[in-house]
Structure 1
Amino acid sequence: MRRFLSALWAKLSNRPLALCDSGDVDGITSAALFLRKYPNGVVVLAAPSEVNRSWWIKRLSWTFVADLPCPGKVLIRADHHRTNKPCAKVEFYDPEAPCSALMAMKALDLENDPIANSLVKVAIETDTANITSEEAEKLDLAVRFASYPEKIFIVRNLAVNGLQALGNYRIGRLIERGYRAKKLMLEIADKIPIRDIINIYSPIDLGISYRQLTIELQHRGAKMVNILLRLNRRTFRYYCGADKDSPYDCTQVATKLGGGGHKYASGAQYKSPFFNPGKGVEAFVNTLKAYLSVNKLEVLELAKDSVRIITY
């Protein structure tokens, strides 16, 4: 309701309206670039799955959309996902671009803006899973665990102050929270045996970034990491990461589960049948079996203090 009212207010007050991905630094940076270009604009953040199923997102006309599937009525869109089909009047779309924020900077004519360039630099680091700067790590940790109002706060501060916003006390608290979650993620990663393909099921949310866990396991030697997180009784979230030197294609699994993304990083969110929540895990297992051409699949089930192996 908060997002719908923000969008409605933008329409009633004739303000530029943007829709950007809520899930990562790339989407948050794209949103900040929009507000840098249009300080009186209004930003709405959403996940790709929400764009596909939300009636009001599809009904509204958007000034700018970035890092998301095209909802339909869009003036300008900036994106780099192969699975997101162009539909805007003006497309800044390049599937070879390292991040959507780079395309957003071009779309918004901010290429000569030093603050915009510094923001895009960290977006490239985070979206290519090659974080080398302290600024990129801090912003990534702040965004991963932020609530919706906290993400909007980050967007607005980045738009005005660029990376100096990381020195803001409130954002600093978010970064500290992110470091605590990263510590827990590393402890869990230590319990997971490294193999070429690692399949994981987490029946409860352990308070970590599961995308961060896929990246960590890849850094330790895994060629493909598939993680299924149960969000509630019926809703499941799939994360996939694949090494760029491997033959694996995450989109081949994610699209079968209703999602999308990149060859080496994709995801999906889906629901199991109302009266049979166990079908959510079954869909994950069967999709992987079909993709990997195997009859049996080994899945590691995560708990906070242990990992157990289940063969399907």
Structure 2
Amino acid sequence: MSAVSVAQRWVATDFGGLDVFELQQYEVPPPGPGEVTIAVTAAGMNPADAKHVARGGDRDQLPVPVGYEVAGRITAVGADTEIAAGGGEVGDEVLAFRIAGGYATEVTVPASAVFARPPALAPEEAANLLLAGTTAAEMLHVTGVTAGDTVLLHGASGAVGVSVLQQAALLGARVIGTAGEGSADVVRRFGGEPVRYGDGLADRVRALAPDGVQAALDAVGTDEAVDVSLALVADRERIVTIAAAGRAESDGIRMIGGAMPDSAAYRDSVRAPLIELAADGRLVVPMARTFPLTEARQALDLLMSGHPGGKLALLP
């Protein structure tokens, strides 16, 4: 059995704001059967990292290890274990998604969450590919988007939105994406048609799509996003939100989330295809900047401002 190693990781010592996040030393457990240990090269960052802590939960689960996705190098492999992509040996460069405690220097994770990292994908990009990518894929999946559809996407310049734009283009769908004036070029760069949010949004979308909108995807959760979606899309089964749970319940639209069993199963099923798209250059992860692992709180502060300008990564 491998020896226990000492590493650093960020945990939330309580539920609340960023002040409850602490960088601590911890003992990394050696991998058992079905597990591998990864020396983290880059930790991906997502709003869910902070929102999960802010929401609160079972206090018996504290402290909460933070971070859902990483890229790194395998340092130990459990007995009779293969990673999800097959194989898996010490020294292999990998990425892992839907893990706990990715904001760390080293972490032991289920091998089923680990895939080989394509050489074409930089570690910080690989560490930010799958949470946004699988969320975007599920949004398109549950609304049945196909070639020839016109789709309204709220929050098109954010991480999930940019992945939706690229994946929708591969499907042959047209996307009209809401964004602020400063983000219109981002929407265009990834194949969408930008439209300014705010008063009159529905009329601006109608002017761009006089033949109608078949589906609406909400990645922002505002009342405006839901109201305009309801006004433009006849079939509520073709409206999905990842951020407006209350409106989903009251208005009968779809709500998806990584903690929901159906969502988790679907997102697991599309990890390998998304990695392949990224390896081929057909799915890009636009990076804004990186931070040292020790500056996670500052990085989260920028991330939660809503305008990071691309993905962020922590570099141990």
TM range, smaller chain: under 0.3
Higher relative contact order (CA 8 A, sep 6+): 2
Q: Quick check: which one's helix share is greater?
A: 1
Give the alignment's TM-score, normalised by structure 2. Answer: 0.25
Give the alignment's TM-score, normalised by structure 1. Answer: 0.26
